[in-house]
Amino acid sequence: MNFKDVKAGWTAGAGVEFAFAGNWSAKLEYLYMDLGDSQLTANVGGVSTRVTRSFTDHIGRVGVNYRFSGGGPFF
């Protein structure tokens, strides 16, 4: 069995955050991840088989934040 695996890829995403009460804010984030393909080659009993898999993912995040410091709106 021969397994070649290199995971170099890319990620892109976007998000928003908004204040709703004093020091409280809420956020929404989305990420798309693509780590390329992976190939597995197996030779069993003289029969060779190759399997290729793609590694992609969609990630969504929802969160609530509380700001402890009393700095300005971006600190």
Q: pTM for this structure?
A: 0.62
Please state, as a whole number, how many other Cβ atoms lie within 10 Å of the Cβ of residue 52. Answer: 9
For the chain, give every domain's residue range. 9-66
**What is the distance between the alpha carbons of residues 18 and 27, in angstroms, rounded to a whole number?**
7
Reported as a single tens digit per residue, the pLDDT across 14-64 is 999 999 988 899 999 999 999 888 777 888 888 888 888 888 999 999 999
Q: Are 37 and 9 in contact (CB under 8 A)?
A: no
